[in-house]
Amino acid sequence: MSGSISDMTIEQQIGQLFMVGFTGTEPTPEIVELIQRRHVGGIILFSRNCRDARQVSTLTHDLQAVARAAGHPYPLLISLDQENGLVRRLGNAVTGFPGNMALGATGAEDLTYAVAEATGQELLALGINMNLAPDADVNNNPANPVIGVRSFGEDPQRVARFVAAAVRGYRAAGTISTLKHFPGHGDTSVDSHLGLPIVPHTLERLERVELPPFRAGIAAGADTVMLAHLRLPTIAPDEDVPTSISPTVVRLLRESLGFNSVIITDCLEMDAISQTVGEERGALLGLRAGADIILISHRIVPQRGAIEMVRAAVESGELAEDTIHQAAARVLRLKERLLAWDALPPLATGATVSTAAHQQLRDRAYARSTTCVRDDAHLLPLRLDPAAEVLVIAQPPTSVTKAIDTVYRHEILVERIRAYHPNVRGVCLSPDAAENDIAALLHAAESSDILIMATINAHLDPPQASLMRRLLATARPVIGIAVCNPYDVAVVPDLKTYLATYEYTEPALSMAAGALFGAFEPQGRLPVTLMSHPA
C-alpha cells in the first residue's frame, strides 16, 4: 500500500476501517491473518492481552512488524480503554491513576490535564498510540449501571471543562484521544453490554445536558469520537437502529458539532447490536451511516464476517465506494500523526514506563480525591485503643458492568487499615450468603469495637444495603466506604460516617485507610448529588 487511497485497492481501504481484538499475549494466527490478508488497520487490547510492560511493548512491536511487512502505509492504530480508575487494562505495567469521578472530586482541571498527559506518555512508551478515553458522559442518573464513576460528574459544564483538560493532556503527550459515548450514555438505567438503552430526550435537552462535554472536547482537539449503543426515539423516530449505526446521529456529530475527524463505533459484539441487527450487518449499517472505524473486540468469526459483508455490499452497490474512500481518507489522515515504524523499539527486560514523577502525581491526585461525605457520628479520625477490635466487611455485588475487568479484593483494604491498627479482622460475605453466615457475621460485629463496611454500588444491589442496615442495628459504631459509585449512602440514610473513594484500586483504598486514621485530611468534594431512596 502507499499512503494515498488512490493507490489502495478497495479491499485495502475496507481493512483500514476495522479495529479488532484477540485473545492472548502474543499475536495469534488469526490476528496476523486479519492484518496481512484482510488489511485490518486497528487493534484493541484488553487485560487478557497485557501481562507486564516488557510483554506489552513486545506485543505492540510485533503487531506493527506484521503490518509493516504486509505493506500497510502507516502503523496500526493500537488502542485500549485506559480510562484509569476501575476501567484500565494495563494493571501494574503503568502508573495507576485515578478515574474520572475521582478526578472530578478533586475539583482540579490541572490535575486532570497532568494525569491524561502522563497516561498518554506511558501508553506511547508501550507502543499504544490511541486511548479510548476520556469518557465524556454526564452521569446524572444514579441508577446508571455502566457509566457511574467513569464520568467526571453530573454537571454538564463542569464535566465539559474536565473533558477538555483531559483531551489537551492527551494531545500534549502525542496520544490519540477518543470522546465517548456519543451522544451521551449518562442518563440510562440499562447497560448497553446487555441491552439497548432508550434515551427519550429531545434535541433541546441533549444540547443542554449531554452534548456540552462533547463540544468542549472537540474544541480542545479530540481526535476521535465513539458512538454509543442507544435508542433515541425523539431524535431519530424513523430509525429503528441503535445510535452507533444511525445516520441521524452521525449527521448531528458532523453538522451540529462540526466534528470532521474519525468516528468509531462502540464494540458491535455488545448485546445492543449482536442481539438486534447482528455484528456483520451492524458493520455495514455503521459504515453506511457515516462511521469511519468499526470496532469488533473479541471474536474472529464476526470480525471476518463483517469484513466480508462490507466487501460484498460494495461489489453489489449496496454500499457506495465513495463512502469507503471518504472513511479511509479520514483514517489515514489520523494515522499521519503516528510515530514512525521504528520510533519505539521494545522495552528491555525489567524496564518500566512509570516514573517517580508520575507516581507522585498519582498520590497527589488520590489524596485530593478521597471524600468524607459526612461524619455526623464524629468518628474520624479514629483514635483507637491498641486492643480495640476492628471488623472490616465487604459484600461484593452480584455483577458490575463488563467494561470493568478488574476484580475487587477486600483484603487490600484490610491490609491498609492494619498498617494503622494491628487488631483488624476482614470478612468478605458472598452475595448469596445463607442466613446462618450472616448471623455469624452479625455476632462477630456485636463483639467488635468498630465496624467498617466497603460497598460497591449498594444503591443498585439490595443485599449490600440490607447488610449495612443490619450492621447499624447492632448499635456498634459503623463507617461506610463506597469504593465505587458514591450513591450508596442514599439507601442507608442512618449511616452517619461515610467516605467515598470512587474506585477500589489499591491507591484509592490506601488513601481511604489514611483518611480513617488521620494521616491526611480528605479534600474531595462530591461531583454528584446524593438523595435518599429505598433499596
Helices within 174-298 (DSSP H only): 203-205, 212-219, 247-251, 271-274, 279-289
The angle that helices 29-36 and 300-316 make with each other, rounded to 10 degrees, is: 20
Angle at 120 between CA 70 and CA 293, to 5 degrees: 45
Locate all alpha helices (DSSP H) within 79-155, ordered by sequence.
Answer: 100-106, 109-125
Contact indicator for 163, 212 with CB cutoff of 8 Å? no
Which residues make beta-bridge pairs with 224?
178, 262
Q: What is the CATH number of domain 14-335?
A: 3.20.20.300
Q: Does domain 370-516 have CATH number 3.40.50.1700?
A: yes
Q: What is the pLDDT along the chain (535 residues), one digit of tens a residue?
A: 455 788 899 999 999 999 999 999 999 999 999 999 999 999 999 999 999 999 999 999 999 999 999 999 999 999 999 999 999 999 889 999 999 999 999 999 999 999 999 999 999 999 999 999 999 999 988 888 789 999 999 999 999 999 999 999 999 999 999 999 999 988 887 776 777 888 888 999 999 999 999 999 999 999 999 999 988 899 888 788 899 999 999 999 999 999 999 999 999 999 889 988 999 999 999 999 999 999 999 999 999 999 999 999 999 999 999 999 999 999 999 999 888 887 778 887 777 899 999 999 999 999 999 999 999 999 999 999 999 999 999 887 766 677 787 777 778 999 999 999 999 999 998 878 889 999 999 999 999 999 999 999 888 888 888 999 999 999 999 999 999 999 988 888 899 999 999 999 999 999 999 999 999 999 999 999 986 544 4
Q: In what order do the strands lie in the sheet with 262-265?
A: 178-182, 224-227, 262-265
Compute the Cα dihedral for 171, 137, 16, 20 and give only its sign. Answer: positive
Residue type for position 63: L
Pairing of strands 77-80, 42-45: parallel
The yes-or-no answer on residue 193 being catalytic is yes
DSSP line for 105-117: HHT-HHHHHHHHH
CB-count burial class (<10 Å; 0-12, 13-18, 19+) for 381: middle
Contact between residue 453 and residue 393 where contact means Cβ atoms under 8 Å apart: yes
Contact 83, 100 (CB under 8 A): yes
User: What are the b/e assignments for 417-451, b being 16+ CB within 10 Å?
Assistant: bbebbeebebbbbeeebeeeebeebeebbeebebb
* d(C-alpha 283, C-alpha 289), whole Å: 10
All three cell numbers of 242? 441503535
Q: Which three cell numbers stand for residue 427?
A: 470478612
Q: Which of 81, 135, 187, 266 is catalytic?
A: 266
For residue 3, give the C-alpha cell. Answer: 499512503
State how far the Cα of 374 lies from the Cα of 364, in Å rounded to an integer.
22
Q: What are the pLDDT digits (tens) for 404-447?
A: 877 777 789 999 999 999 999 999 988 788 899 999 999 999 99
Strand arrangement of the beta sheet that strand 371-375 belongs to = 371-375, 497-500, 478-482, 450-455, 390-394, 424-428
Spacing of C-alpha 17 from chain mean position: 23
What is the secondary structure of 476-519 as a DSSP string?
A: S-EEEEESS-GGGGGG-TT--EEEE-SS--HHHHHHHHHHHTTS
Q: What residue type is assigned to position 464 of the chain? A: Q
Residues facing residue 500 across a β-bridge: 371, 482
Catalytic-labelled residue, pool 61, 193, 325, 375: 193
Contact 461, 474 (CB under 8 A): no
Q: What pTM does this model have?
A: 0.94
Distance CA 263, CA 245 (A): 11
- Determine whether 203 is exposed, middle or buried from the number of CB atoms within 10 Å of its CB (0-12, 13-18, 19+): middle
Is residue 346 reached through a cis peptide bond, with omega within 30 degrees of 0 on the bond before it? no
Residue 244 to residue 267: CA distance in whole angstroms: 9
pLDDT of 483-517, one tens digit each?
A: 999 998 888 889 999 999 999 999 999 999 999 99
Given the DSSP bridges, would you call strands 294-296 and 18-20 parallel, antiparallel or unpaired? parallel
Domain locations in the chain as residue ranges: 14-335, 370-516
From 457, 506, 446, 448, select the one nearest 480 (Cα to Cα).
457
State yes or no: is 358 an active-site residue.
Answer: no
